[in-house]
A and B are shown apart, each in its own frame.
Chain A
Amino acid sequence: MAEQSTDAAADGGFRWPVEQFSLDNGLRVVVCEDRTSPIAGVNLWYNVGSRHEPAGKHGFAHLFEHLMFQGSAQVGKTEHFSVLQEVGGGAINATTSSDRTNYYQTVPSAALPTALWLEADRMGSLALTQENLDNQREVVKNERRQRYDNVPYGRWFEIMLTLAYPEGHPYHHSTIGSMAELDGAEQSDFTSFYESYYSPDNAVLTVVGDADAAQVRKLVAEYFGGLEPRPRPALAEVAPLPLGLDGPIHEVVTEPVPLPRFFFAFRATRFGLPGSAAEEVLAVVLGRGRGARLFTELVTRRELAQAEGGYLDAWQLAWHESLLSGMATPRPGVDPAELAAAYFEVCEQAATLPPTEAELDRARSMLAADWARELSPVGARADQLGRHAVLFGDAARVRDRLPEFMAVTAEDVRAAAERIFTPGNRITLEYRVAEAETSERADAAGAAEAAEAEAAR
C-alpha cells in the first residue's frame, strides 16, 4: 500500500500552485493549474455587496447579479447561459452577500476563451435596458416570495440583521433589499451603480484547472486588456461596533409556523482577524454535528431540543463585526424558555470548561476534511482563491486558512467563549405559533418594511 499523508502542515492543505498578476487596468488575476480533468473553473469576485448600497437603493447589488445574465454589447438577452452551454459550460451561477458578488462557471478547458470573453463583455458593456430592469425586478420579487415569504421562518435572517446592526450600518439590511426601493429606482441609478463597481480594478478573476499561467495571461490580455478602470465613490467611514451588543435583545414573532423555534445570534470577530479562527472552532465544538456539546446536552441527555445538523455557526462577515448564530426547536411538551436557558447555559459553560483533547480533535478533523471537500471541485477552489485575494490582497493566503484552525488551542476556544457568550451579547429571536384564526398573513410589503434584507447564505 502506498502511503498518503494527512499532515496538512507542508502546504496548508492546499496542494496546488498559485500564480498571480495584474493588468494595467487594475484587474487582478489568479491562476491555479490542476490537470486532473479537462475542465477549468472561472470565477469573478466583484468587491460589491449590499454593504455598498446607500439608503434608498437597497437591493441593487443583488439585482445586478440578475442583470449580469441579461446580455451585453455582443451577447443577446438571455444568451449568456446558452453561449456557455453551447461550449459545454456548466455550474453557472452567481451569488450576492453583504460583502461581495461572485460569478462563476466551469467549462471544458477548450472553452476557456469563451468564458473569459463572456465575462469581459459584461464587465465592459452590460445591457442596462428598461426592459431588462423591469423583467428582472419581477424575477427578484418571485425569488423573494419563494425564499422568504412563502416558507415558515423564511424571514428570520433579515429580521436578525436589523436586530444585530444599528440603523444605517452596512450590515443592517440584507441583500434581497426593498422591493419598493427597486421599483422606485431610475435607469440612471442603475447605470451609475454599474459604472462604479463593475470596473476591472474592483474585481479578481480566478482560473483553476486545466490551464497554466502563461496561457491565461495571454487570454486575459486579449479579452480584458481593452477595458478601462472607472472611478468609485468613497465609502462612508463606519465606526467599529463595541465588542458586545447592548443586550440582551429578545424579539418575539408570532406567525403561522408549524413549530415554535429560537434563532440566536452573538456579535463576533470579523473574518480573518485574530480570534475569528478560535470562534469558528468554538462553533464546531459546541454546535456542529452529532458530537457537539449542544447536541449531546440538549438533544440526547436532556431531551429538550429536536435534532438538527447544526446549533451554532460562524457567519464569516469580513468587513465589519461578524456574528455567530444558532437555532433550537423545543421538543413537544418542552417549555421554550427552559430550552433557551439550557442553550445559553451550555454556551456560557464553555468559558470555564475548555474543550477536551477529544473535542478539539473532532473539531480539527471536521474542519480539515471539510476544507478538503471544499477545495476539491475547481469551481469552489477558484472561489476561495478569489475571496482571499479580495480580502487579504493575496490569494496565496488561502494556505493560512487550515493552519489557523489547527493552531487554535483549548485556551483560545475558552477565551472565545468568554468573549462571545455574555448575556449582554445575545439576541433571541423567538417564533411562536399563531393560532389559525388570529394569524396575520405575512405579506411581501409588510416583510419588506419590517426589514430590508436577504440571505445569500
Chain B
Amino acid sequence: MITIVDYGMGNLGSVLNMLNKIGVKATISSSHDEILNAGKLILPGVGAFDAAMTRIQDAGLGVILEKRAMGDRIPILGICLGMQILTRGSEEGKLPGFGWIPAQAKRFPVQPDLKVPHMGWNIVYPSNASRLTENCEKEARFYFVHSYAVFVDKAENSILKTEYGIEFDSAIQCDNIYGVQFHPEKSHRFGMQVLKNFASL
C-alpha cells in the first residue's frame, strides 16, 4: 500500500488518479497511524520550500517521516517540491530540508530568453541506473514546473539529468529515498512507467 502524504501542499488527487489507473493500491492521508503503517510513501508538493517544511513540522509529521525514511528505510518518493525537501535545503528558504539525499536546490540562473519557472515538457537523460527509471524510454519526456533546481553533491546520487539553460538533476536517489523534479502524474505513459517502477520496488 502506498500512502500519499497530505501535508496541505499540492495536487494530491492527480497522483492518486494515476496510481488508480495503473492498478496500484494507494490512499491520501495525513494520519500519523496510516503513515506509520504504510509500505511506501509519496511526498508530493507544490509551493514554497519553507511553507512545506513548516506544515510538515506543524502537523507533527517530521519525526514520523524521519523514522520511516531512516529507521524503517521504506521507499519514499518525493515529487517536485516533495523532492526538494529531501535535500539539505533550498536557496528559496531558510529552513533546513530533511537532508536524506546530499544535494541542494538553487534558483535557476537568470538567462535571456529563458523564462522562470521552467514550465513545460522537457527531455531527461539517464546519469545512473536505478530501479525507479528501469524500462524508461530513451529521451522520455516529462512535465516540469519549478523555479529552483536540485544539484547533487556526489554524481552517484543523480539518476536523471535535464537541461534548461543549465544542466540539473531531474531525478535523484540515495538508497531507499527517491526524488523526481517532474510530475510523473502529469506525464502520460512516461510518468506511468516511473510510478509503476516505484510501486514494484
State yes or no: do A and B come from one complex. Answer: no
Interface of B with A (CB < 8 Å)?
A: none
